[in-house]
Amino acid sequence: MSKFALVLLALVLALGCNSGTPARPTQVAAKKRVASTHSNSKPVVHVLVALCDNKYQGIVPVSARLGNGDDLKDNLYWGSMYGVKAYFTPQRGWKRISSTKNPKPGILERIILRNSSGTTLVADAYRGRNIQNAIEDFLSFTNGFDPQALHNSKQAFGGGSDMLVFLGHDGLMDFRLPVTTHTKLSAPKSVAILCCKSKKFFEPHIRPSAAKPILWTKSLMAPEAYVLEASIQSFERQESSAEAIQRAARAYSKYQNCSLKAVRSVFTSGY
């Protein structure tokens, strides 16, 4: 696919996002929670990817090949050129540790990668129609629920992760979820929410957890893997909000071939 075609595709995806007002979330009582006892010796990042889906998500349809939410091989957010699985390769400093098909209902594939600094990346590809499950899991993990042990390791992902990421369509434009009030974690999670207008729609759900938003968005955007890479690098380097925004903007400007000045307005960091 040519660069021009990719830029055009990203624009179509962005325009496909519903730009309406978020539904007022309801409040529900906090669940009893046992805080994670895991303390990872090296950082663990868990990214939950909702596969692009023409049929089940509120987007302007892309090509059938890129927008099949049941297909791993060519999906825009997973197997295509800038999809998470295709992008994070040894050439970019990531070694594949494992790949598991259907690790749990609704997740078509889980890959585990590690870079030279020891950071582990767990990436889950949720079936497109299961986008609500992906967002629910993301919010649950952000609050420390369900820490899951990495195989043959004392490291943990899920609610035991050090950083959590949601990547895909902003499903909160299409459906509402209750805001659960929680006791703040003693060690709040770092998060990145890579979808259209994520600050507007996710902030009510994130604030009760005291999560630390490394990167989220103020406008429409194409949620592709180079922005995920930038957010992980900011997390690893413990960069300031201004540095995280600048790093993401540089990556987005490079791959979308657009003005760095204009792109800076897409991203934000912190509250």
* Interval 202-230: pLDDT, tens: 999 999 888 999 999 999 999 999 999 99
Q: What is the CA radius of gyration of the chain?
A: 17
Secondary structure letter of residue 99 according to DSSP: E
For the segment 103-122, the average pLDDT, to the nearest whole number, is 97
Please report whether residue 224 resides in a domain: no
Q: Residue 66: which pLDDT band, with cuts at 50, 70 and 90?
A: very high
Residue 183: predicted pLDDT: 57
Please report whether residue 59 resides in a domain: yes
For the segment 82-93, the average pLDDT, to the nearest whole number, is 96
Please report whether residue 33 resides in a domain: no
Rounded distance between C-alpha atoms, residue 72 and residue 212, angstroms? 31
Q: Is the predicted pLDDT of residue 13 greater than 80, yes or no?
A: no
Please report whether residue 13 resides in a domain: no
Rounded distance between C-alpha atoms, residue 29 and residue 181, angstroms? 6
- Count Cβ neighbours within 10 Å for each residue of 177-214 and write b for 16 or more, e otherwise: bebbebeebeeebbbbbbbbbbbbbbeebbebbbbbbb
12 and 224 Cβ atoms separated by less than 8 Å: no
Q: Which residue has the tokens 């035991």?
A: 160
Most distant pair of Cα atoms in the chain: their distance: 51
For the segment 249-256, the average pLDDT, to the nearest whole number, is 97
Residue 181: predicted pLDDT: 73
Q: What is the dihedral of CA 64, 68, 73, 74, to 10 degrees?
A: 40
Which has the higher per-residue pLDDT, 154 or 71?
A: 71
Rounded distance between C-alpha atoms, residue 198 and residue 213, angstroms? 11
Residue 20: predicted pLDDT: 57
Residue 8: predicted pLDDT: 40
- Total domain count, the chain: 1
Each residue's pLDDT tens digit, 158-192 = 999 999 999 999 999 999 999 987 655 768 899 99
Each residue's pLDDT tens digit, 30-61 = 444 434 446 899 999 999 999 999 999 999 89
Host domain of residue 153 = 39-211
Please report whether residue 19 resides in a domain: no
Please report whether residue 28 resides in a domain: no
Residue 19: predicted pLDDT: 55
Q: Is the full-model pTM beyond 0.85?
A: yes
Residues ≥6 apart with Cβ < 8 Å to 32? none
Please report whether residue 128 resides in a domain: yes
Range in 31-40, 136-145, 207-216, 250-259 the model is least confident about: 31-40
